[in-house]
Amino acid sequence: MSDSSSDVPRGLVFGALRGGTAPQRRTLAFIFVVTIAGVALLWPVYPFVPSIEPYVLGLPFSFAWVVGWLVVVFGALVFLYRAEEQGPEGE
């Protein structure tokens, strides 16, 4: 049993964007957070933070910046997972 080319989606697929308004808003918020984090970790924003001092929790500031954004994206992913696990109406 093989899939025809029309059955296989192409590109980045978010199933929640096809649902109602609540799942769509959550997914768009997640995409927004990930985009902001990506911009914060790339040029032109990241060159403003590559200093070694000050130290944050014993880490150089540039490393703490990357770890901080990693924690933000992880939190957004956990929120999205929990919200979609509850259902479209937030049951």
pLDDT value of position 55 = 85
In tens, the pLDDT along 20-61 reads 677 778 888 888 999 998 888 888 777 777 777 788 888 888
Measured CA to CA, the distance from residue 9 to residue 1 in angstroms comes to 17
pLDDT value of position 81 = 85
The CA–CA distances, whole Å, from 9 to 4, 13, 14, 20, 29 equal 11, 7, 10, 20, 23
Is the pLDDT at 75 greater than 90, yes or no? yes
Average pLDDT value for residue range 2-26: 66
| pLDDT-derived band at 18, boundaries 50, 70, 90 | low
